[in-house]
Chains A and B, each alone.
Chain A
Amino acid sequence: MAIGSARAIPATGRPRLGARLRERLDREEFLGPLFVTPALLLLLVLVAYPFCMALYFALSDAFIGRPSHWVGLRNFLHLWQSDAFRQTFQNAFVFTGAAVACKLVLGISLALLLNQQIWFKRMIRGAVLLPWVIPTALSTLGWSWMFNSLYSVVNWTGIALGLFDPPGPNWLGQKYYAMTAVVLVNIWRGLPFFAITILAGLVAIPNELYEAAEADGAGAMRRFWYVTLPMLKPVLAIVILFSTIFTFSEFNIVYVLTHGGPMNSTHLFATLARQVGLETGRIGEGAAISLYLFPALMIVVWAQLRFVRKQAY
């Protein structure tokens, strides 16, 4: 017995380490943090830290390649004196409001249509979803050719149908037309997300509700108003919140289509931040502009956690 145990110690020394590790890995309070660590480290170094830097930049006079000094809120005050920024601020709300509202109405209509008995169901869904899948920067390039001042196919079609007087509007060169064009492309690109998500919500509504409503004598309009819409509410809330934050922070479409022009009339926070922060080098001011996206993000996060996720858990 004594001899056996004396010999057993060196023999079991290594396996015991392995066994201990294996036992540890089976314990949730050890394995859990271990599994989450890589994701957490990544997010700390490349999301949380840059965010703190953005805060610091915004409060300093940082300029590319020069040491920076603390200036307090001067960047923010300075921004409000700039016409370009005030215009951008207004654009951001006009753009987001118009685009999200149109996407919502069109998205519900499209989802209702896709929910009917239709031929070539898969193909039609595929076609409708396509704008969402293709790289936005590239498809927007296609749109900028479609809005070209001389060879616009949009104008050609409009003139052929008698909608515009020749030569038709200069889409990307006139203030309100440029905003319309940018909103239109955003609708085009975001509509699939609305339609497909709302469609998933529609499919989940139990048929009995419609049958009961029909038995009570409700017509199609009233069935939509009193059954479909209330049942869709949670899905609509999520879709609107998601879309609001991603529309508010849009960059690609504006950058490719108008570069913020003409006369800053289509600049959004992201594109102006890039222009000020990188093209003219005033990183401090650029970071301050980017940070205007943050309150919007906070509101969306708060609403998601407060109203939407509550139902999920």
Chain B
Amino acid sequence: MNRKLVNKILAHLALLPFIIFAVFPFYHMALTSLKQNRELYDRNAVPLLIRQGPTLEHYAKLLWETEFYTWTKNSLLVTVLSTFVSLVIGTVAAYALARLKFFAVASLGTLIFVTYLVPTSLLFLPLAQVVNWLGLGDSKWALVVTYPTFLVPFCTWLLMGYFRTVPKEVEECAMVDGATRIQALWRIVLPIAVPGLVCAALFAFTLSWNEFIYALTFTSSSEQITASVGVTTELIRGDIYYWGSLMAGAVLASVPIVVLYVFFLDYYVSGLTAGAIK
């Protein structure tokens, strides 16, 4: 009994460095965003604490003197639209690949899996040309169009796993009772697969909110860029870094994800493993 408790305490002690490693950068970001410049750029100050009083001046500067509000709005628009589109396309594709028998279904499944592995940094140069031809150069709509290229394979792959776990008999019963296949999908299969849909939606939202290389390449003007691009490019003038505002921007632009994360932690955990294991 006593040995068990000692072991438990030892496990926590061993976990501590991992937890500090994971969380400290966020603590330091938040701290920096609340510090006065006087303390921030004082080489004799202790960087781990706020000693000379907190301030909101960096946040005020970010909100009133930059286009941060526009960037966040762009991020939200791009993320919500591309998530929704990808979820719809991915759901029907996943249902077909997991449930229906038709020409070349197995190789199509493999194809989706392969595109799931294609990194965005492989194709951004030619995609920039395609985006220009579509007349979407320097427009946030380019992102709405291109984000599904990595979201659809991901959603499809994740949902195929979920659809396979729904027993075939449930659906067949409904069809014996006179429902069409689409009705059976809509009324029987989808409601059972809601956890999978939530999971796919959360991950798609997170992936597109966090996307950087396409956003950096396809958009450049201040009215079109997303929050991550805005914070990393527009708040740096030449070689001058406004660290207080930069950190304030990084904190604020992470808020939507953190909120989702706190509420849906368990879905994140299950989705992370499902994406790799299923």
| Interface residues in chain A, defined as those with a beta carbon under 8 Å from any beta carbon in chain B | 22, 25-26, 28-36, 38-40, 42-43, 45-47, 49-51, 53-54, 57, 106, 110, 113-114, 116-119, 122, 124-139, 141-143, 145-146, 148, 150-151, 153, 156-157, 188, 191-193, 196-197, 199-201, 235, 238-239, 242, 245-246, 248-252, 255-256, 269-270, 273-274, 277-278, 283, 286-287, 290-291, 293-294, 297, 300-301, 304-305, 309, 312
Known: A32-B101, A39-B93. A245 touches B119 (CB 8 A): yes
Residues of chain B lying within 8 A (CB to CB) of residue A25: 180-182
Q: Tell me if A40 and B180 are in contact (CB < 8 A).
A: no
Q: Is the CB of A151 within 8 A of B126?
A: no
A142 to chain B, nearest CB (A): 4
Option from A39, A151, A251, A290 in Cβ contact (under 8 Å) with B112: A39
Q: Which of B47, B105, B122, B250 contacts A32 (CB 8 A)?
A: B105
Pick the contact of B122 from A153, A188, A290 — CB < 8 Å? A290
B82 → A minimal CB distance (Å): 11
How far, in Å, is A140 (CB) from chain B's closest CB?
Answer: 9
In this complex, what residue of B is CB-closest to A200? B273
Taking CB as reference atom, which chain B residue is nearest A292?
Answer: B122
Q: Which residues of A contact B130 (CB under 8 A)?
A: 45-46, 49-50, 53
C-alpha spacing A291/B126, complex, angstroms:
11
- CB-CB under 8 A from A250, the residues of chain B are 121
Asked if A42 and B101 sit within 8 Å, CB to CB, the answer is no
Residues of chain B lying within 8 A (CB to CB) of residue A249: 119-122
- With contacts A113-B18, A128-B19, A145-B246 taken as known, whether A188 is within 8 angstroms of B41 at the C-beta atoms is no
Q: Is the CB of A38 within 8 A of B92?
A: yes
B258 and A134 within 8 A (CB): yes
B43 on interface, CB distance cutoff 8 Å: yes
Q: Is the Cβ of A150 less than 8 Å from the Cβ of B123?
A: no
Q: Are A38 and B93 in contact (CB under 8 A)?
A: yes
Residues B179-237 near A (CB distance < 8 A):
180-182, 206, 209-210, 212-213, 216-217, 227-229, 231-232
Chain B residue at minimum C-beta to C-beta distance from A301 = B114
B146 part of interface (Cβ distance < 8 Å)? yes
Q: Is the CB of A134 within 8 A of B243?
A: no
* Residues in B neighbouring A46, C-beta threshold 8 A: 127, 130, 145-146, 148-149
A28 contacts B15, C-beta separation under 8 Å: no
Describe B's contact surface by its main secondary structure.
helix
Q: Closest 10 A-B residue pairs measured CB to CB?
A: A32-B102, A270-B121, A249-B119, A35-B96, A53-B126, A32-B100, A39-B93, A200-B273, A50-B126, A138-B250
Bound Cα distance from A235 to B274, whole angstroms:
11
Chain B residues near A53: list those with CB within 8 A: 126, 129-130
* One of B24-32, B56-64, B165-173 contacting the partner: B24-32
* Residue of chain A at shortest CB distance from B114: A301
Please measure, in the bound complex, the distance between the C-alpha atom of A250 and the C-alpha atom of B262, giving whole angstroms: 27
A32 / chain B contacts, CB cutoff of 8 Å:
96, 100-103, 105
Using Cβ atoms and an 8 Å threshold, which residues of chain B touch A151? 40-41, 43, 47
Contact at B102–A28, with CB atoms within 8 Å? Answer: yes
- Distance from B254 Cβ to chain A, minimum over Cβ atoms (Å): 5
Q: A151-B41, A197-B272 are in contact. Are A131 and B246 (CB under 8 A)?
A: no
Contact indicator A113/B181 (Cβ below 8 Å): no
B101 in contact with A47 (CB, 8 Å): no
Q: Count the A-B residue pairs with Cβ separation under 8 angstroms: how many?
A: 296
Q: Contact at B93–A145, with CB atoms within 8 Å?
A: no
Contact (Cβ within 8 A) A51 B123: yes
Complex interface residues of chain B between 75 and 101 (CB less than 8 A to chain A)? 89-90, 92-93, 95-97, 100-101
A250 to B121, CA, bound (A): 8
Bound-state CA distance A233–B269 (Å) is: 20
Within the complex, what minimum Cβ distance (angstroms) separates B147 from chain A?
10
**Given the complex of chains A and B, what is the CA–CA distance between A34 and B231 in angstroms?**
42
Q: Are B101 and A29 in contact (CB under 8 A)?
A: yes
On chain B, the residues within 8 Å of A145 by CB distance are: 28-29, 32, 241, 243, 246-247
Q: Which of B46, B103, B126 has the most CB of A within 10 A?
A: B126
Instruction: List the A side residues contacting B227 at CB < 8 Å.
Output: 135
CB nearest neighbor in A for B228: A137
* B23 interfacial contact with A, CB 8 Å: yes
Are A242 and B103 interface neighbours, CB within 8 A?
Answer: no
Q: 18 A-B contacts, Cβ less than 8 Å apart?
A: A22-B180, A26-B175, A29-B101, A33-B96, A36-B96, A36-B97, A39-B156, A50-B127, A127-B22, A129-B272, A131-B25, A137-B228, A138-B228, A138-B232, A145-B243, A249-B121, A287-B126, A290-B121
Tell me the complex Cα distance, A264–B212, Å: 21
Report which of B115, B217, B273 forms a contact with A197, defined as CB distance below 8 A.
B273
Residues of B within 8 Å of A33, CB to CB, are: 96, 102-103
Q: Does B68 sit at the interface, judged by CB under 8 A?
A: no
A273, chain B: closest CB distance, angstroms: 7
Question: What distance in Å separates the Cβ of A122 from its nearest Cβ neighbour in chain B?
Answer: 7
